[in-house]
Structure 1
Amino acid sequence: MQVIDPVTLDNCADEPIHIPGSIQPHGALLAFDLEGILLGWSANVAQLLQLTPTLNTPLAALALPAEVSQAASECLDSVEDGEAPVTALEVTFGAVRFDCIVHAYHARLIIEFERRDTPSDAVAAFALKAHAAIDRLRRQKSIDALLQLATEQVRAITGFDRVMAYRFHQDDSGDVTAEARRDDLEPYLHRRYPASDIPAQARRLYTINTLRLIADIHYTPSPLVGRAGDVPLDLSHSVLRSVSPIHIEYLQNMGVGASMSVSIVVAGRLWGLLACHHMAPLQVPYSVRMAADVMAQVLASLVQSMEARANALLVEQSAEVRTRLMETLLHQDEPARALLAHAPGVCQSLQAEALIVTEYGKLVVHGDIDPELAARMVASLPAHGQDMVERSAVGDWPEALRPALAPWAGLLALRFDPATDGWLLALRREQIHTIRWAGRPDKVIRTGPMGPRLTPRGSFDEWRQMVRERAVPWAAAERLAASQLLGEMHRASVAKHVETDRARAQLLAMLGHDLRGPLHSINMAATVLQHGGAASTMSTRIQASSTRMERLISQVLDMSRINGGLGLGLTRGPVDLVPLLHDLLDEARTAHPELRIDASMPAALVAEVDGDRLVQVVSNLVSNARHHGDHGEPIELMLDERDGKVLLEVRNTAPAIPAGLLPTLYSPLKHASVGNVRNRGGLGLGLHIAQEIVQQHGGEIVYRYAASQVVFAVTLPRA
């Protein structure tokens, strides 16, 4: 039983269109090996050229015009790796004028004679028009204007009824972005053609042979005979190559009588196409076609330059964003908040509409996205392996998450720190839009003499399709910007890990040193008590030393919880802040009788806070003011309510904090704090923990210098 392969677009893509075994009959073809021995010819050679070829006849023995023999010899002399470029000349056989095109490909010399009825002077006039058109093309400022002018100029020099400019998408479908046409023809502007209209092997030929003419789609092919009829002759670069019957049927369905296509190849990729249609047969002279081809090459060069300028601008902007971001990351202990500070620039660089940043289990968002959905998006990322994850449609996401995604569809996720599970997620919204297809893009399976096959579309009436659940795909320039950003963030993460390891070693050394002092004091006090020393003095010393030890250990534990992503475990409740702060200030005055603290507070101020943690913040700020303020000058504390928020300020008279220290002001283990002669027991953790407490309350802590005073202002939501 015979097994028939399923009919798919692959069947169409497998059609060997580069070796059709025949040519279009408005010309004739001779094929030789690289020794100049005749291997094959088109069956119409006798009719068009009045020659009677014989297999294995040497080139010199054929009755060809001298200039043709000369061009063929020069072509053979220039062959490298079995190929030689095209040479074209005008010849006559009897009273008939031909364009003769000579080239070598796959170790075969191919000479084509294409009949031409247009006089030479008319062809020259067309060439002058093309030269003027190229000058106008160079003056265009945008790609759309460039394509529109190109369609008008190609139509003017070739005489086609319709010239369309296609611009291909990443999925190889193409939009008609410009059109010049006869007034009575239906416009195809802004319609889309599916990728299947140009199969893969046709796309390859469009790239290597940038111009192809079908002078009359109702032609009867002239077969190749001789050995060329037995061993397929590769006609990839032939101007007379016969075309696929499927493509002929496609053109007939469009009501086209003649067709020409001119490729726009940018950086080796089929970027676009100038498609020319005529409602009746039309033979365009070879030199006029070459003028159109040159215009397309100029067009491709201009497109490449415009895209390169746009990409260079994007690269420059992305580099500026990365530079600013890296400066912040290297001085900021929380990459998530550092990234959030530069979120607008990162969004512009990646052409994203929202950002999610997560590290140590903490998550921050920029843009209109629900934090709960953001957390589920992060959870959908792979635990290991990929450092960059790309999604462009709802269908690319895990199935369980899809119902909750709206309005988001696109994702570009960067794992910038695997050790801390650090991710940056750039998001794009679903783009609901209507595609105006030139006919329903499906193909139909029909059974013919060669069995079942896909047939081209029979209708090109506009067919509209609503596209949902897809985002704008991530372009190559955006993926490059993301890759560069990821590399910089990786380096910043490594640098921070090195710094953390150094700080951890320093912390352990300092902690051992600083705990040794209080322990020694407690040990000495216990010895004195054992021998009947003054109990009150010794108990005071024991209490002070143990309090200092408790403070050091608490700070280290708090920092460990913060770095481990555990948070500080806030327990919020309604707290009247006024008596809470009065008690704290009384303790400070008792411990330091020489200290003067001026407080300005309302009679009562209730807020939803963790009272113990807030006392920790204020205690740290007062302690800093005592250690770093000018001796003899008072510390000022102010508590008030403004715009529904709690405002707390601690001021002390002192020189301004040096500008060089401000980027690391809230960093742990700062060099300026560790070993400070005015705060020998400090580890430089106080402001770091205070900031974390305030931020976990949804507030902020800000430093400023005003009227010879150092000011730390804390703002908290009341509820």
Structure 2
Amino acid sequence: MEIKDIVNRDIVNLTNCEQEPIHIPGSIQPHGFLLGIKEGSFIIDYCSANTAEYISLFHSQLLGKTFAEAFGNEPFSELKAYVESGKMLSSTLLRTTLAGVDFVCTVHNSNGIFVFEAEPVILQKLLPSEMYVQTSQFLSYMSDTHSLKGLCQLVADGTREITGYDRVMIYRFDQDYNGEVFAESVRADLEPFLGLHYPHTDIPAQARELYMRNLLRLIVDIDYTPVPIYTLDDAADKNVDLSLSVLRSTSPIHVQYLHNMGVGATLTISLIYKKKLWGLIACHHYSPKNLTPEIRLAAQLQGHFITSQIDVRQASEEYELARNTSIAVEKMNAIQLDRAADLNSVVFSPDILKVANATGVAVLFDGQIYKNGHTPKSEEIRRLASWAATYSKNTTLVTDKLIDFLPEHRDMCQKTSGILYHSLDMNSDNCIIWFRPETKTEVHWAGDPTKSIEKDEKGLSPRRSFALWNQLVECKSKPWLQPEVDAAASYAHALQRQINLLIITLEEEKYRRLSELLRETNSELENINWISTHDLQEPLRKIQLIASRILVKEEQMPVNVQDSIKRMNDSANRMQTLLIDILKYTRLRHSQDAKEKVNMVELVEEVKGDMAEVIAEKKVSVWAENLPLVEGVPFLLKQLLSNLFANSIKYAAPEREPVIKITGSHELQPYNADDKTLYRVVHVADNGIGFEQQYAEQVFNIFTRVHTSPEFKGSGVGLALCKKIMQNHNGYIRASSQVGVGTVISLYFPAEV
């Protein structure tokens, strides 16, 4: 049977300590012994090298045997009952006798291995009466102090009284896991550490992780010699996870750190709050010291008491602050905004600064800045608001150290080290910002935090100096407390609602004025339309009448006079046509006729009948196929087709006979990719002279003519009238043309729902 130890011999130094596997050291402290027992078979698979010191049996005699074979049936029955009762990792410990010696044991399951740790019974233990006194002390803590700091001080005093350590510290972490001695009870002749800060490098991440899992850590003697753990050499890379072990050997880096502090023994109790490591109860003794399991449990209960009271104490401390900020918010909400200028009354109210206990405030709205108190310059506020809107995506931003975000604006530190920003608009820089000035503070570190690693003749080692080192913190404001942040958010949302109502009111007023102006303009346009379509008709008719009478005697006039009168008559005719088209366009705008089913085939026949003479004269071929039924106003659709036919005939190619094809499809189509509506489509195609496709949209504008040659007479209203008719039918019209080939006009009628 081959036996090997599982000691981790990887070289550990300060360059790789962040990756040190401290949960599998392969060794233990010597104030007890360890067995690793296989779950199910209870075969001893791991054994520390010091068993002979406690039970006169060497590890080589124990490995490979069952627990019963090694110690007898009675201890085995006690162990099995303890495991099956579910008491592992509870406050109930296993007490048993092994090889005639009484032990108090802890047992836990580590990946299928029962880690059995035995320590000899120490006569000194906490009596029931002392346990009662301690419980009573817990209750007295609740009435003796209302602050968290006061509670921690009482717990530090109580823990030192119970355990007898030279120094007991309540150690609290910040958000970056730098530590602060928050409360301390220390022997009178020792230097106090209260208020000192320790860098996060003193407790690496993997150590903090173990503190989360194993809530109590004991080192009896810093100068101990690690005891190796042996196992049967029957598999490669065998090891056992000692994360929850009581006897687990400590990292040599941590041992060196404690040596540098002059510490002889330690007890560390984790303080877990909201599933995070809030802090530690750190107990130091300046000589070796062990505790009974009862005293360890009593000390651990002190830690549980602190964490159970954190919420209560913080709530008590924050209550008065929250009450005052809430009163300020209520007073601010009473100020109503009727116009933008009222924002002056908002920012100059004394309560707006009390909302967040700020020294300055600014509101940016519609390009205007309203500010009060100690604030940056207006241009700096604009830049800050623009940056904060982009950075926060128009939400919120809270910081007590703005320079961390804007290092180039150190000149703003004095007045603007801290800001509490709330956007008032998702699409602009409108916002409200509370300001706090720089508060220079002095942080007392236990040694220079930048020198957590020191170099000497032996290489790198943990820092040796814990002498007071003062750091001046600049460009940082007093931190924003949660009640202040909550009150600011509450008022910012209320102000946002008021501003939105103000914007809506201003928009309504603007639209009301525009509506009045539009009504006046429409009234004037109606008068102009009436004049152009009625009053101008009479002088035109007189011009046409006089011209026709003169032309009756044209043989008696010189040729140049005849020519002038004919041009005058033609101009009058064109103007009359234009006025008639304008009248049609104007009437179409007011048309509200009810729509009905229109048979496009029948409509085409009607238009052909009305235009029979010109169709015959120009030898036009007109034919239709697959035309659908559409919803529309019959006389308007007839006007639509008449205009399209007339246009095709007007712009016919002189070298070929005109052809007009009216086709349709019963398959529904969208107008474009963005339009989800489906349409029935009718195409009116001709083989005329066409036009360049770049004018496809322009041809539908009123008074617009692509062909300006005198031979093509017209007002430029025809296709605009067609577009207006399609708009009245909630449809679209589209032109597709090619010079010398012809034009296709596509009509999109909404399909039935």
TM-score range, shorter chain: 0.5 to 0.7
Identity among equivalent positions (%) equals 31
Give the CA deviation at 1:11: 3.6
* Equivalent residue, structure 1, for 2:183: 178
1:461 is matched with 467
Q: Aligned match of 2:271 in 257, 260, 264? A: 264
| 1:363-512 correspondence runs (5 A) | 363-372=369-378, 373-383=380-390, 385-393=393-401, 395-441=403-449, 442-444=451-453, 446=455, 455-475=461-481, 478-483=484-489, 496-512=502-518
> Per-residue CA shift, 1:460-518, capped at 9, x if unaligned?
12122222222234455555555555555555555555555544443433444578899
Pairing 1:296-695 to 2, within 5 Å after superposition: 296-311=303-318, 321-322=328-329, 325-326=332-333, 328=335, 333=340, 336-337=343-344, 339-340=346-347, 344-345=351-352, 347-372=353-378, 373-383=380-390, 385-393=393-401, 395-441=403-449, 442-444=451-453, 446=455, 455-475=461-481, 478-483=484-489, 496-512=502-518
- Partners of 1:325 and 1:98 lie apart in 2 by 69
Q: TM-score, normalised on structure 2?
A: 0.60
Shift in Å, 1:424: 1.6
Q: Distance in 2 between matches of 1:303 and 1:163?
A: 19
Q: In structure 1, what is the equivalent of residue 159 of structure 2?
A: 154
- Note closer, same or farther for the CA distance 1:280–1:360 as it changes in structure 2 (3 Å cut): same
Cα drift, residue 157 of structure 1? 0.7
CA contact (8 A) 2:447 2:465 kept: yes
Determine which of 136, 141, 153 is the counterpart of 1:137.
141
User: 1:612: which partner in 2?
Assistant: none
Partner of 2:270: helix, strand, or coil?
Answer: strand
Q: CA deviation at 1:118?
A: 3.1
Q: CA deviation at 1:165?
A: 1.6
Instruction: Say if 1:263 and 1:274, in contact at 8 Å, map to a contact too.
Output: yes
Report the Cα distance in structure 1 between the residues aligned to 2:13 and 2:430, rounded to whole angstroms.
44
> Hey, what's the Cα distance between the residues in 1 that align with 2:102 and 2:148?
39
Contact 1:87–1:103, Cα closer than 8 Å, also in 2: no
Q: 1:286 aligns with which of 285, 293, 303?
A: 293
1:425 Cα deviation from its structure 2 partner: 1.6
CA drift of 1:322 comes to: 4.9
Question: Residue 17 of structure 1 is aligned with which of 22, 26, 31?
Answer: 22
Q: Residues 369-404 of structure 1: CA distance to partner in whole angstroms, max 9, x if unpaired?
A: 243443443354354735223443353243442224
**CA separation in 2, counterparts of 1:504 and 1:8?**
74
- 1:228-278 CA-to-partner distances (Å, cap 9, x unmatched) read 994332222221121111111111111111111122222222222221111
Q: 1:65 to 1:158 in 2, by over 3 A?
A: farther
Tell me how far 1:25 sits from its aligned partner: 0.9
Does the Cα contact within 8 Å between 2:397 and 2:420 map onto a contact in 1?
yes
The code of the aligned residue for 2:137 comes to A
Which of 196, 214, 236 in structure 2 is aligned with 1:209? 214
Please report how far the alpha carbon of residue 520 of structure 1 lies from its aligned counterpart in structure 2 after TM superposition.
11
- In 2, Cα distance between the equivalents of 1:421 and 1:13? 45
Residue of structure 2 in register with 1:541 after alignment = none
SS in 2 for 1:280: coil
RMSD: 3.7
- The one-letter code of the counterpart of 2:142 is R
Residues 249 and 330 of structure 1: CA distance in aligned 2, closer, same or farther (over 3 Å): same
Deviations 1:134-168 (A, max 9, x none): 12222221112111111111111101011112222
User: 2:388 is paired with a residue of what secondary structure?
Assistant: coil
The answer as to whether partners of 1:31 and 1:41 remain within 8 angstroms in 2 is yes
Q: SS at the partner of 1:18?
A: coil
Report how far residue 443 of structure 1 moved. 1.8
Q: What amino acid maps onto 2:150 in structure 1? A: A
Aligned ranges for residues 17-96 of structure 1 at < 5 Å? 17-35=22-40, 36-52=42-58, 54-63=62-71, 66=74, 69-76=77-84, 78=86, 85=90, 87-93=92-98, 96=101
| Aligned CA distance change for structure 1 residues 67 and 428 (closer, same or farther; 3 Å) | farther
CA distance in 2, matches of 1:327, 1:71: 71
- Pair 1:112 & 2:112 matched: no
Q: Deviations over 1:600-625 (max 9, x none)?
A: xxxxxxxxxxxxxxxxxxxxxxxxxx
Deviates more, 1:369-378 or 1:35-44: 369-378
Aligned-pair CA distance for 1:126: 4.5
Answer with 1 or 2: which has the greater Rg: 2
Instruction: Report if the CA contact (8 A) 1:89-1:99 is conserved.
Output: yes
1:100 paired residue number: 105
In 2, Cα distance between the equivalents of 1:363 and 1:414?
A: 15
CA–CA separation in structure 1 for the residues paired with 2:239 and 2:297: 27
Q: Which amino acid aligns with 2:406?
A: P
1:171-210 deviations in Å (ceiling 9; x for gaps): 3222223221111111112211122111112222222322
The answer on whether the counterparts of 2:376 and 2:416 sit within 8 Å (CA) in structure 1 is no
CA spacing shift, 1:313–1:210, aligned 2, 3 Å:
farther
Q: Residue 619 of structure 1 corresponds to which residue in structure 2?
A: none
2:476 is paired with a residue whose SS is coil
Q: 2 CA distance for matches of 1:302 and 1:486?
A: 32
Amino acid at match of 2:453: V
For 1:515-562, what per-residue CA distance to the aligned partner results, in whole angstroms no more than 9, with x for missing partners?
Answer: 889999999xxxxxxxxxxxxxxxxxxxxxxxxxxxxxxxxxxxxxxx
Call closer, same or farther: CA 1:223–1:388 in 2, change over 3 Å. same
8 Å CA contact retained: 2:62, 2:70: no
Structure 1 residue ranges without an equivalent (≥5): 1-6, 524-719
Partner Cα distance (2:280, 2:90) in 1: 23
In the aligned structure 1, how far is the partner of 2:258 from the partner of 2:175?
25
Question: 2-side partners of 1:519 and 1:230: how far apart?
Answer: 96
The CA deviation at 1:56 is 4.8
Residue 406 of structure 1 aligns with an amino acid whose one-letter code is Q
Q: Give how far 1:217 is off.
A: 0.5
**Within the alignment, does 1:247 sit opposite 2:254 as a pair?**
yes
Relative to the length of structure 1, the TM-score reads: 0.63
Q: How many residues align?
A: 510
Judging changes above 3 Å, is the alpha-carbon distance between structure 1 residues 63 and 490 closer, same or farther for their aligned structure 2 residues? farther
Q: Aligned AA for 2:28?
A: I
Unmatched tracts of structure 2, length 5 or more: 1-11, 530-753
Distance 1:8 1:515 in 2: 87
CA distance, structure 1, for counterparts of residue 13 and residue 480 of structure 2 = 28
Report the alpha carbon displacement of residue 432 of structure 1 after superposing the two structures with TM. Answer: 1.0
The 1:386/1:522 distance shift into structure 2, 3 A limit, reads closer
The answer to whether the 8 A contact 1:178-1:189 is kept is: yes
Q: Does the alignment pair 1:295 with 2:302?
A: yes
CA-to-aligned-CA distance 1:639-682 (integer Å, 9 cap, x gap): xxxxxxxxxxxxxxxxxxxxxxxxxxxxxxxxxxxxxxxxxxxx
Tell me if the contact between 2:454 and 2:463 (Cα under 8 Å) persists in the aligned partners. Answer: no
Rounded to whole Å, the distance in 1 between the matches of 2:490 and 2:113 is 47
1:188 counterpart (190, 193, 208): 193
Q: Check whether the contact 1:65–1:91 (CA below 8 A) recurs between aligned residues.
A: no
